[in-house]
Structure 1
Amino acid sequence: MSYSNAKYIIFGAGSFGESVYSNFINKKNVLGFVDNNKNSKKIYNLTVSTIEFLFNVKFDYIIICSEPGKFEILKQLISLNIDKTKILIAEKNNSEIIVSRLEKVDDIFVKEQIDSQSFLHNQNNYLQLLDKFNQLNNSVKSNLIFFRKEHTLRQISKKFNNKEKIKVAFFVIWSSQFTFSGLFELMRNDKSPFDPFIIVCRIPNLSVEDNSRYANVYEKSLKDLTDKYGEKYVKQNYVNGRYVYLLDNIDIAFFSMIHPYAYDKSSLPETLFKNNILLYFCEYSIDVAKKTEQEIITVQHRYSQLNFFYKIYTINNYLSSCISNDYHIKYIGYPKLDEFSKFENQNKTTKCRKKIILAPHQDFNKENFCGNFLKTYKLYYQLPDIYPEIDFIFRPHPLLIPNLYLYWGKKKTDSFINKVLSNKNVTLDSSSFYYQNFAESDAIIHDCGSFLVEYLITSKPEFFLEDDPKILDHYLNDFSKSCIDHIYLGHTLKQACSFIDKVVIGEIDNKKEKRTRFVNKYVKYNYPNINKKIFEDIMNDLS
């Protein structure tokens, strides 16, 4: 081999690695060997090192020299963020050794990895392979998905490098859960290389009961997002009673909800994946719940679509238990929080009345750490009556009232809502966008798991309507347990009044200093530049 003066590392200390080394004309160009099964032997006086060696020397290329394990090594190197342009793959061709750049890996994969499956012999077209996807064993599926992602990335990168606009779709179920709104706004910039748009998705195949709960979600989301961004940027996947196909003009797609029931077949991530669309994901809320082993299995099934995503952005490690390969999980923060920065420094010097948000969750008819509505619902009309000098914002979860109609009936539900709103110091907030209210408020009283973390962005006090240590320990993951340490807990009217009297009115917030430090370190991770970081990361992926 004649490779000028570039410096090389050989990955694989077996006989094939030795053969590759022996073919170098200038053997001084080889810095050493790396092997996952390191032993004490040397090869031609070169030490066989562990993979950490890659981070201790400067090299130009690494050559994968392992016939049976080349694909696992390739995934391992990419998981370590090794520049793909530095990765070479060696293969035997009769008595000749051929070293290929990563661009050739699709052909290698089809020829050698799939050949072992007799029913797929000689299939060298990805679409044909994907048609048989469900028949493949898990190992082949994993490799097929992995290389399909890399293939798709390269195709889009060619467009990007040719200065073509990259078409980017943001799939949204609920406008209030548009996690990537900040990224969308960055991509709308005239100088951006992207052409972004939103696809509002209607949940398909609803039962009669579910249809009564979700009836207005689609229409409201479509209206809210169109009002905010304009018709130019908002599309819908359901027109005149039929789902429409929108995948012909998409290069990249972003999702923030992944439940299989949420999308019709043409909008499923798996379908987009098969259509050469590069997928990115960030959960619509910050998950706070601990999962049992059985629940993880259930969640893995629900989240199986995540395996088709090229990259997953998160603030904690919850999703790592939900996918088979987590090498593309990136801990970058929760992008939705950037929206709060627009309101964070609003001038409040003229404000003379305290303001508290009341936010009941929709999950109430089961044993759960969040969703204590049936135990605490009287608080929502009692507190405004007790404190007429305080303004209250009543913000129920969008599904609470539909759920109550099914559980209580319309008469009792309407009576409850009317009783809450009969207080002149209460306003109802049913909007999709709530961070302005977060900024203008002085505190929140709630039982919502997602708000447990989200409201912390304000560094203001919150009162969570659960204080049973057994329940909290059973249901909360480690991250949310850390959050709980910096807020106030309780479930009775007396405890809520004590919180208001002492912390809100009296402004004796003993947890404030510690909470602020915690928020700045863990919740405001990369804030307020989380979307900018994601934007830069995607640009780096494509360049």
Structure 2
Amino acid sequence: MIIDNNPVMMGQDEIIRLATELAEAVDNNWLVDGEKAAGYTYAHLVAMFFATGSMEDGNKLYNYCYDAAIRCGKSNIDKRLRDGQKIKVAFLPISAAEWPAERIYKMLRDDDRFLPVVVPVPIIGRTKEERGKTYSQTYKYFEENGYNVEHVYDPDTEEITGWEDIGGVPDVVIHVTPWYLDMVKNYQIINLPFSVLNVYISYGLTVGNSQTGRFDELCMYNKEFMNLCWRVYTETKTDYEEFIRYEALGGKNVRNSGYIKMDYFYDEHSYTEKDIRNMWGIPENRDANGYKKVIIAPHFSVGDTNVLSFSTFDKNMYFYIYLAKKYKDSISFVFKPHPNLRNGLVKHGYMKSIDEYEAYLDEFRRLPNARVQEEGSYLELFDTSDAMIDDSISFVGEYLYTGKPMLFLERPEQRFNELGKKIIDAHYKVKGTDYYGIDTFLEDVVLAGNDTRKAIRQRVYEEELDYAGINGIKASDYIYNDIANALLG
């Protein structure tokens, strides 16, 4: 099958038809019959979510239907256990750069009751070139790092294979992005049968908001995707409280586990000089310890038409090249763009093509004190860095786990949700067009060490983000224990 590159929203007629079918099935108790239940997918539950959204007491009806669907998944798990079979678990990443679930994958892999597999999924609504590059980089990352990984997409022919070609539909799917309409249709949550239990582990902290102030409510805490999941593991107490406040399910499927990706920073790590040189651009004849190390991390949301407008990259992209040249003897830079930046620049006309973006990256790559990291884990990069310059949303919270200084680049359209408001003031801030302010951060904070906001960052971290300190357990342990205990008893 050739990939369909066009994202499709569910139409009104389809919503009515599918919601009616599900209501009939629930009323007649058909979902307790395995054969009859097999004809129902999460598209039916999405339709019911939309259909009940404007009803008086609609949440009660939706919850009733949701509970019936979840019972199908649990019944399937129970049957497999009675038959002595392993629980098949599939992870669906779209980008190695956004992969948060290494630790939980390994814990399930080491438990002989589970059979985990990673299925990298291509994204749609992109050019063939961008889709192919992201998919190839992502698949390569998992293959080279020893994961049990399935290859389902050919970037040259655009052929995509489905579940039936890789061993069948799993029992549990662990999603690491809520943006299911950006995924190829074969692997979207709405096409999974009710026999599957869906889990969501976030790839980033939710700190941004739209200018209307309702993004976090409509596109995160009460997004239809969240209301389909058996489990949603959230990163902070503030997030958990927002789910309870907004979600149609009232947060009953949400667990405040902490941010699994950040488990990395609760452990001690050591790096050889070879490790440092592999990550950072250090001239061969220079001492790696003689260079400060700064990450440049632009968001993708250039232009004025994004729901979340954070990126200032169109205003300062070439200033970064200038800085890398200016500090060639004292600072090593890694350019760490959001995976969607290349698409955003071309879509909004700031670059003519993907080739122009690649030429920009090559300018960085040619500098002796600079590197580019597009995909793969960035946790080691964070850990070995000295500072960050960014306008990327999730990193506002994530970088606080390092305890190191960040310069956040502002633009008038930026908005933050409740969590974001609590943590943004822990950072240094200048306008994205304030080249002098950016340079001063490097001179005064990074090189001279005048870090006046260190104590503020520590306080905010302890109050809002230190989930292991609050829960007494790492997020990966929390999630593994919760899944295993809930499914296996």
Shorter-chain TM-score above 0.5? yes
Q: Which amino acid aligns with 2:145?
A: K
Q: 1:244 aligns with which of 162, 165, 168?
A: 162
Q: Which amino acid aligns with 1:156?
A: I
Q: CA deviation at 1:520?
A: 3.7
Matched residue, 1:328 = 253
Question: How far apart are the structure 1 equivalents of 2:76 and 2:160?
Answer: 32
Query: Could you say if the C-alpha distance between residues 228 and 162 of structure 1 is closer, same or farther in structure 2, counting changes exceeding 3 Å?
Result: same
Question: How far apart are the structure 2 equivalents of 1:534 and 1:171?
Answer: 17
Q: Which amino acid aligns with 1:501?
A: E
Question: How far apart are the structure 2 equivalents of 1:235 and 1:302?
Answer: 32
Question: How far apart are the structure 2 equivalents of 1:170 and 1:361?
Answer: 25
Q: In the alignment, is the contact (CA less than 8 A) between 1:173 and 1:262 conserved in 2?
A: no
Question: How far apart are the structure 2 equivalents of 1:238 and 1:322?
Answer: 37
Question: How far apart are the structure 2 equivalents of 1:197 and 1:335?
Answer: 18
Query: Could you say if the C-alpha distance between residues 293 and 321 of structure 1 is closer, same or farther in structure 2, counting changes exceeding 3 Å?
Result: farther
Describe how 1:181-192 pairs up with structure 2 within 5 A: 181-189=102-110, 191-192=111-112
Q: CA deviation at 1:530?
A: 0.9
Q: Which amino acid aligns with 1:242?
A: I
Q: In the alignment, is the contact (CA less than 8 A) between 2:209 and 2:216 conserved in 1?
A: no
Q: Does 1:381 align with 2:321?
A: yes
Q: In the alignment, is the contact (CA less than 8 A) between 1:353 and 1:390 conserved in 2?
A: yes
Three-state SS of the structure 2 residue aligned to 1:503 is: helix
Q: Which amino acid aligns with 2:480?
A: F
Q: CA deviation at 1:539?
A: 1.7
Three-state SS of the structure 2 residue aligned to 1:427 is: strand
Question: How far apart are the structure 1 equivalents of 2:28 and 2:384?
Answer: 64
- Which moved further from structure 2: 454-463 or 279-288? 279-288
Q: CA deviation at 1:263?
A: 3.1
Matched residue, 2:478 = 533
Matched residue, 1:337 = 262
Q: CA deviation at 1:462?
A: 0.6
Q: Does 1:496 align with 2:438?
A: yes
Question: How far apart are the structure 1 equivalents of 2:458 and 2:26?
Answer: 58
Matched residue, 1:218 = 135
Q: CA deviation at 1:453?
A: 1.2
Three-state SS of the structure 1 residue aligned to 2:178 is: coil
Matched residue, 1:101 = none
Describe how 1:231-310 pairs up with structure 2 within 5 A: 233-238=148-153, 241-246=159-164, 248-272=168-192, 274-291=193-210, 292=212, 295=215, 299=219, 303-310=223-230
Q: In the alignment, is the contact (CA less than 8 A) between 1:343 and 1:439 conserved in 2?
A: no
Unaligned runs of 5+ in 1: 1-113
Structure 1 residues 394-439: Cα deviation after superposition (integer angstroms, max 9, x where no partner): 2222232344345222476456444444432112223311111111
Question: How far apart are the structure 2 equivalents of 1:156 and 1:347?
Answer: 45
Matched residue, 2:276 = none
Matched residue, 1:398 = 339
Q: 1:432 aligns with which of 355, 372, 376?
A: 376
Three-state SS of the structure 2 residue aligned to 1:285 is: coil
Three-state SS of the structure 2 residue aligned to 1:197 is: strand
Three-state SS of the structure 1 residue aligned to 2:122 is: coil
Query: Could you say if the C-alpha distance between residues 147 and 421 of structure 1 is closer, same or farther in structure 2, counting changes exceeding 3 Å?
Result: same
Question: How far apart are the structure 1 equivalents of 2:151 and 2:359?
Answer: 36
Q: CA deviation at 1:533?
A: 1.0
Q: 2:74 aligns with which of 142, 145, 153?
A: 153
Question: How far apart are the structure 2 equivalents of 1:117 and 1:382?
Answer: 62
Report the structure number with the largest CA radius of gyration.
1
Q: CA deviation at 1:451?
A: 1.3
Query: Could you say if the C-alpha distance between residues 275 and 376 of structure 1 is closer, same or farther in structure 2, counting changes exceeding 3 Å?
Result: same
Matched residue, 1:359 = 297
Three-state SS of the structure 2 residue aligned to 1:258 is: coil
Q: CA deviation at 1:534?
A: 0.6
Q: In the alignment, is the contact (CA less than 8 A) between 1:393 and 1:426 conserved in 2?
A: yes
Tell me the C-alpha RMSD between the 2 structures: 3.4
Q: 2:387 aligns with which of 437, 443, 446?
A: 443
Q: Which amino acid aligns with 1:523?
A: L
Q: CA deviation at 1:203?
A: 2.6
Q: In the alignment, is the contact (CA less than 8 A) between 2:332 and 2:370 conserved in 1?
A: yes
Query: Could you say if the C-alpha distance between residues 415 and 220 of structure 1 is closer, same or farther in structure 2, counting changes exceeding 3 Å?
Result: closer
- Which moved further from structure 2: 449-458 or 151-160? 151-160
Q: 2:401 aligns with which of 457, 466, 478?
A: 457
Q: CA deviation at 1:319?
A: 4.9
Q: In the alignment, is the contact (CA less than 8 A) between 2:199 and 2:230 conserved in 1?
A: yes
Question: How far apart are the structure 2 equivalents of 1:319 and 1:386?
Answer: 46
Query: Could you say if the C-alpha distance between residues 148 and 161 of structure 1 is closer, same or farther in structure 2, counting changes exceeding 3 Å?
Result: same
Q: CA deviation at 1:276?
A: 0.8
Question: How far apart are the structure 1 equivalents of 2:172 and 2:324?
Answer: 47
TM-score between the two structures when normalised by the length of structure 1: 0.69
Q: Which amino acid aligns with 1:440?
A: T
TM-score between the two structures when normalised by the length of structure 2: 0.76
Structure 1 residues 440-495: Cα deviation after superposition (integer angstroms, max 9, x where no partner): 110011111111111111110011111x6x645xx111211222121101131211
Q: Which amino acid aligns with 1:399?
A: N
Three-state SS of the structure 2 residue aligned to 1:454 is: helix
Matched residue, 1:203 = 123
- Which moved further from structure 2: 485-494 or 129-138? 129-138
Question: How far apart are the structure 2 equivalents of 1:156 and 1:422?
Answer: 53
Query: Could you say if the C-alpha distance between residues 350 and 405 of structure 1 is closer, same or farther in structure 2, counting changes exceeding 3 Å?
Result: closer
Three-state SS of the structure 2 residue aligned to 1:216 is: helix
Three-state SS of the structure 1 residue aligned to 2:117 is: strand
Q: CA deviation at 1:378?
A: 2.9
Three-state SS of the structure 2 residue aligned to 1:526 is: helix
Q: Which amino acid aligns with 1:339?
A: Y
Q: Which amino acid aligns with 2:303?
A: N
Matched residue, 2:11 = none
Q: 1:486 aligns with which of 417, 426, 441?
A: 426
Q: CA deviation at 1:338?
A: 1.9
Q: Does 1:409 align with 2:343?
A: no
Query: Could you say if the C-alpha distance between residues 523 and 123 of structure 1 is closer, same or farther in structure 2, counting changes exceeding 3 Å?
Result: closer
Question: How far apart are the structure 1 equivalents of 2:140 and 2:246?
Answer: 33
Three-state SS of the structure 2 residue aligned to 1:379 is: helix
Three-state SS of the structure 1 residue aligned to 2:119 is: strand
Unaligned runs of 5+ in 2: 1-19, 53-57, 274-286
Question: For this pair of structures, how many residues does the alignment match?
Answer: 419
Q: Which amino acid aligns with 1:438?
A: F
Three-state SS of the structure 2 residue aligned to 1:355 is: strand
Question: How far apart are the structure 2 equivalents of 1:417 and 1:350?
Answer: 23
Question: How far apart are the structure 2 equivalents of 1:181 and 1:510?
Answer: 35
